[in-house]
Amino acid sequence: MKICLPRCAAPRVLKLLAWSLAGALSGCSLLSPSAPLLEAPVSSSYDPISAWTAGNASAALNPPTVPAGFYRVNPGDTLTAIAHDFGRDASAIAQWNRLSADGSLRAGQILRVAPPAATQNVAAATDQRAATTADKHTDAALTTAADAKARLAWPVSGAVSEPFVAGKTKGVTIATRAGEQVKAAASGRVVYAGGGIAGYGQLIIVKHDSHLLTAYGNNRALLVKEGTPVKKGQAIAEVSADAAGDASVHFEVRKDGKPVDPLAYLPKRH
């Protein structure tokens, strides 16, 4: 016996089916507000300097596609600054790359910053003689393997009040006097000067070469601007103090973008 539903029952059946589907889908984890796939993970170890470096071309490290002996020009770079960073003469880099007389550069341009192979053998003997002479004038503090890493100078006087702890801290805190001058730990170029990076107060970041950066936080006054070349020991800021009158500098060393223990690069204090 064939049973037919009345025409008027069809809409009711469709509504019942729709309600059933809606109820089933509402319990599905893909639509649940607490579903983990719909929530962005929150990192408890957010590193604002690394985030700034990754988004700022003038401080970013050279891309790995650039071969050894070459450099990719970043916005704001000058021939003089690049030559300084790589220990070369600007005129030599201009000659190797056949640059125009004004030495103008464009962002993204690949420059040779090491002598071409044809000239390396000729320069090797000269470099060896120069190295031998330079070795005679090397500071006695660099004669041991431990001191060989001490390529940086202390930015301020004072004792370390908060040490570096891998995975937990990004640098060290050095207790000092309010108003004391903060000095560049090594020669380089200022790639950041300001208070826009959270957690660091008035901050200075100096780029020393394509691998090494130093950062100086918690200052009350900045004495240099972005793009300024600085010498080792040059005053770049003044120390700030908190409400209790305690003064300190937060000092970081970044190698290839990663925080490392500054004490491994500083001379030991006796």
Q: Tell me how far apart the alpha carbons of residues 46 and 51 are, in angstroms, rounded to a whole number.
A: 8
Residue 50 in any domain: the answer is: no
Q: Which of 48-52, 74-78, 90-94, 102-106 has the lowest mean pLDDT?
A: 48-52
Residue 106 in any domain: the answer is: no
Q: What is the mean pLDDT of residues 24-49?
A: 45
- Give the CATH number of the domain where residue 233 resides: 2.70.70.10
Q: How far is CA 265 from CA 142, 181, 200, 258, in A?
A: 12, 20, 21, 14
Q: Is the pLDDT of residue 171 over 90?
A: yes
- Paired residues of 253 in beta bridges: 214, 260
> Residue 72 corresponds to which tokens in the numbers above?
């990719």
Nearest to 186 by CA among 141, 156, 155: 155
pLDDT score of 15: 55
Residue 29 in any domain: the answer is: no
pLDDT score of 198: 83
Q: Tell me how far apart the alpha carbons of residues 51 and 21 are, in angstroms, rounded to a whole number.
A: 45
Task: List the domain range (segments joined by +) for residue 204.
Answer: 149-264
Q: Is the pLDDT of residue 141 over 60?
A: no
> Residue 3 corresponds to which tokens in the numbers above?
């049973």
Residue 7 in any domain: the answer is: no
CB 155 within 8 A of CB 185: yes
The percentage of residues in the chain with a pLDDT greater than 70, rounded to a whole number, is: 64
Residue 90 in any domain: the answer is: no
pLDDT score of 19: 54
Count of domains observed in the chain: 1
Residue 252 in any domain: the answer is: yes
> Residue 93 corresponds to which tokens in the numbers above?
């880099």
Q: Which of 104-113, 133-142, 198-207 has the lowest mean pLDDT?
A: 133-142
Give me the helices (H) in 110-203, please.
117-136, 145-148
Residue 131 in any domain: the answer is: no
Q: Tell me how far apart the alpha carbons of residues 141 and 267 are, in angstroms, rounded to a whole number.
A: 8
Chain center to CA of 65: 19
Q: How far is CA 201 from CA 21, 91, 236, 250, in A?
A: 55, 40, 15, 10
pLDDT score of 66: 65
Residue 217 in any domain: the answer is: yes
pLDDT score of 202: 92
Q: What is the mean pLDDT of residues 203-231?
A: 92
Give residue-wise pLDDT tens across range 118-129.
544 445 445 555
Which DSSP letter does residue 220 get?
Answer: E
Q: Tell me how far apart the alpha carbons of residues 76 and 30 are, in angstroms, rounded to a whole number.
A: 47
pLDDT score of 148: 47
Give me the helices (H) in the chain, please.
9-26, 48-55, 79-85, 90-97, 117-136, 145-148
